[in-house]
Amino acid sequence: DSGVTQTPKHLITATGQRVTLRCSPRSGDLSVYWYQQSLDQGLQFLIQYYNGEERAKGNILERFSAQQFPDLHSELNLSSLELGDSALYFCASSARAGVGADTQYFGPGTRLTVL
C-alpha cells in the first residue's frame, strides 16, 4: 500500500458526460501528479500540482481540468467524455516538486469506461 488513495476504483459512464476523479496524497506529500494509462498511448503525464498551485502541464486535453485543495487532496475533472477517454487514471504524490531524487508513489488508479 503506497498511502495514496483514489476514488472511485471503477467508473462507467456515457459519452458526453462529466466525471470527477479524486486523489488523496500520502501524508505529508505536497505534490500531486495525474497520469493516464491507455493501450495505445501508454503512461502519459497529464498535470501536476504543488501545494495548491498548478506547476506543470502535459498532454492534458482542454476538456480536462484539475485542482488541488487546501487539504492537499486533488480532483481531476473530465468533461464531454469521448470513447477514447476510456483509460486507467493514476494519481501519484511526492514530498516536493521539481526535486529529481523524490520518489513518486502511485495510487491504485481509477478505471474509466466510456460507453
Partner 1 sequence: AQSVAQPEDQVNVAEGNPLTVKCTYSVSGNPYLFWYVQYPNRGLQFLLKYITGDNLVKGSYGFEAEFNKSQTSFHLKKPSALVSDSALYFCAVRDMTTDSWGKLQFGAGTQVVVTP
Nearest distance in Å: CB 6, partner 1: 8
Figure out which of the listed residues 14, 42, 62, 71 binds partner 1, where binding follows CB under 8 A: 42
Among 3, 98, 113, 115, indicate the residue that binds partner 1 (CB under 8 A). 98
64 binds partner 1 (CB under 8 A): no
Comparing CA positions, the residue from 104, 112, 1 lying closest to residue 45 is 104
Binding partner 1 by CB under 8 A: which of 11, 104, 112, 114? 104
